Structure 1
Amino acid sequence: MPKPLDSKCQLCAKLPAAKAKVLHGPEGDGCWNPKVCHNRRSFYRNKSKDDSAQIDAIAVEAPATYFAVLYLYKEPGDKPLHAMSAELWLGQKPVCRLEPIHCFGLTAGKIRAYTDQVLQAFAKQYGVSLYQYKDMFEITLTYCPVRPCPLHPES
Structure 2
Amino acid sequence: MARAISEKCRRCAKLPVTEAKEKDCWVGQPCHVRRHGYRNRDRYNKQKKQQYAIVTGKIIPEVTVAVPQTPAAILHLYRERKDAPLHAIAAELWVGGKQVAKVEPVHCLGWTGSQAKQYSRDILDSFSGQLEECLLERFESQVELNPSQCPIRPCPLHPEAN
Shorter-chain TM-score tier = 0.5 to 0.7
Partner of 1:110, secondary structure, is helix
User: In 2, Cα distance between the equivalents of 1:73 and 1:40?
Assistant: 19
1:148 equivalent to 2:154? Answer yes
Q: How far does residue 73 in structure 1 lie from its aligned partner after superposition?
A: 0.4
Taking a change above 3 Å as real, the CA distance of residues 40 and 64 of structure 1, as seen in their structure-2 partners, is: same
Aligned pair 1:97/2:97, yes or no? no
Runs of 4+ in 1 over 3 A off after TM superposition: 23-28, 30-33, 36-41, 57-62
Partner of 1:130 in structure 2?
Answer: 136
Decide whether aligned partners of structure 1 residues 26 and 72 sit closer, same or farther in structure 2, where only a CA change above 3 A counts: farther
- The answer to whether residue 116 in structure 2 is matched with residue 111 in structure 1 is yes
State the shift of 1:77 in Å. Answer: 3.8
Q: CA deviation at 1:124?
A: 1.1
1:11-50 residue CA offsets vs partner (Å, 9 max, x unmatched)? xxxxxxxx9962994789x999733755997xx9xxx9xx
Q: Offset of 1:61 from its aligned partner?
A: 6.0
Q: How many Å separate the matches in 2 of 1:108 and 1:126?
A: 28
Give the superposition deviation at 1:136.
0.4
TM-score w.r.t. length of structure 2: 0.62
CA distance, structure 1, for counterparts of residue 34 and residue 112 of structure 2: 45
Gap change, CA 1:111 and 1:20, over 3 Å in 2: closer
Return closer, same or farther for 1:83/1:26 CA change in 2, 3 Å cut-off. Answer: farther
Report the equivalent of 1:121.
126
CA–CA distance in structure 2, aligned partners of residues 129 and 32 of structure 1: 48
Consecutive unaligned residues in structure 2, runs of 5 or more: 3-13, 41-46, 52-61
* AA aligned opposite 1:130: L
**Any residues of structure 2 matched to 1:3-152 within 5 Å, and which?**
22=17, 25=20, 34-35=29-30, 37-38=32-33, 62-127=67-132, 128-152=134-158
CA 123–77 in structure 1, closer or farther in 2 if over 3 Å, else same? closer
TM-score w.r.t. length of structure 1: 0.65
Aligned to 1:81, the other structure's residue is in SS state: coil
Instruction: State the match for 2:54 in structure 1.
Output: none
What amino acid sits opposite 1:80 in the alignment? P
Percent sequence identity over aligned pairs: 37
